[in-house]
Amino acid sequence: MKPILSEFSRIDTFIFDVDGVFTDSSLLVTEKGELLRIMNARDGFALRRAIDQGYKIVIITGGTSEGVRLRFSKLGVEHIHIGVQNKAKVLGELIKTKVVNPATSIYMGDDIPDLDVMQVVFLPVCPSDAASEIIEISRYVSPLKGGKGCVREVVETTLRVQDKW
């Protein structure tokens, strides 16, 4: 189901999972056991643009990569939660402390660990290659796959609707 553009006009906060959203879910395992990911530079550009326009960006991921934390920190993301076992609990705390207003938030996830949190926000969205359960509950499915520009597409759509792109 595709939301009407007016739904994007309410958004002031973007909440993202990492693996399967910023990445294509692939992990390159080094001989030392490090897990390496590839991210789309255009997604990073869109995040920076959104931050510069005053939007909040929140990262909630089960992954534990310090490289991921560093990447988002360098882009200016202030709310980065890595190694999260219970995403709904973290989102609940962010709502309780008024960092996030679920009525004006998008959450982009791709797999079962995102299911509960996606049901809390106003606009749940996902990449085109998300798990079927996630596609079913999403109000918008990006035409792009995880790691292939889906973040940029959703951020750009939102900013364009609000005349901020």
Question: In this predicted model, what pLDDT tens digit does every residue of 95-141 receive, in sequence order?
Answer: 999 999 999 999 999 999 999 999 999 999 999 999 999 999 999 99
- The whole-model pTM stands at 0.95
Neighbours of 158 (CB within 10 A): 26
Average confidence score pLDDT of the chain: 95
Structure letter (DSSP) for residue 4: P
CATH number of 5-161: 3.40.50.1000
Give SS3 for 46: helix
Average pLDDT over residues 54-64: 96
- 77-91 as b/e: b if 16+ CB within 10 A: bebbbbebeebbebb
Assess whether pLDDT exceeds 60 at residue 1. Answer: no
Domain residue limits, the chain = 5-161
